[in-house]
Amino acid sequence: MEQYIPKVIHYSWFGGKEKPAFIRKCISTWEKKMPEYRIVEWNESNFNLEEHPFALDAYRAKKYAFVSDYVRVYVMYHYGGIYFDTDIEVKRDFSDKLAGARFVIAFELPDSLMTGFFAAQKGNPAVKEILDYYDRTSFYNEDGSMQLTPNPIIFARETAKFGLVFNGQYQEIGDGMRIFPNEVFGGYNVYDMIYTITENTVLVHHYTASWRTVREEIPVKLKKLMLKLFGVEFFRFMRRVKHKILKIEDRQK
């Protein structure tokens, strides 16, 4: 079967911080499990931020996650290959799942895509749609606030133009586009903060969010503590209550 996706792994590391030990450990799994792939780090030395307003403004604001949001789409469109967030742990070589495909990604949740990993051929039209969104979008809104829409939502919205169905299940759409369940690429429930690894999982996204500031980390640590104290079912119940309240408020508008 023809291989459209180049054997290269891209990742971003902006801000100049030293990589934590866990991140280095994750990257080592790429080298070990996928030895045929060349690994390229994108940073200030080889990506010209001055040419890309969205990324430059995010960089100046020290919002490095949003810098990487742009960079991943740009390099994947212009070079193709695989993109990994640095907290991706590869369990086994998954080249077989890319064979014959032109675009591969997985669900994060039934209504959003997991952007810590995706793969594409150079010049892929789905990636172009996402890149075009960023190129026509300012990092700052008219009121001066930052445009902080999470990229799983942006990816899902743009990919839906090619026939994506929001059901969390495997599907083949468009021209060689494969969408996998989170069980295969991901292995982590971001709502419940629990791992969902099975024998089908080829990589795990650990969601360490190394870009977070100390202040941004506080609510995450608080949620983890509450999950530990009250359990997953309590949070699922509270989420259902929240959704019902929001539906009632929408009907009253």
Q: Give the count of beta carbons closer than 10 Å to the beta carbon of residue 60.
A: 11
Nearest Cα to Cα of residue 88 among 242, 202, 211: 202
62: left (phi over 0), alpha (psi -120 to 50) or beta: left
Q: What pLDDT was estimated at residue 212?
A: 47
* Single pTM value for the model: 0.85
Residue 204 CB-density burial (10 A; 0-12 exposed, 13-18 middle, 19+ buried):
buried
Residue type, 142: E
39 in Cβ contact with 132 (< 8 Å): no
The two structure tokens encoding residue 207:
């969601």
Q: pLDDT tens for residues 93-115?
A: 999 999 999 999 999 998 899 99
pLDDT in tens, 6-63: 999 999 999 999 999 999 999 999 999 999 999 999 999 999 999 999 999 999 999 9
Whether the predicted pLDDT of 116 surpasses 80 = yes
Q: Which CATH number fits domain 8-211: 3.90.550.20, 3.40.50.300, 3.20.20.450, 3.30.70.60?
A: 3.90.550.20
Ramachandran class of 165: left when φ > 0, alpha when ψ lies in -120 to 50, beta otherwise: beta
Domain boundaries of the chain, sorted by first residue: 8-211, 213-253
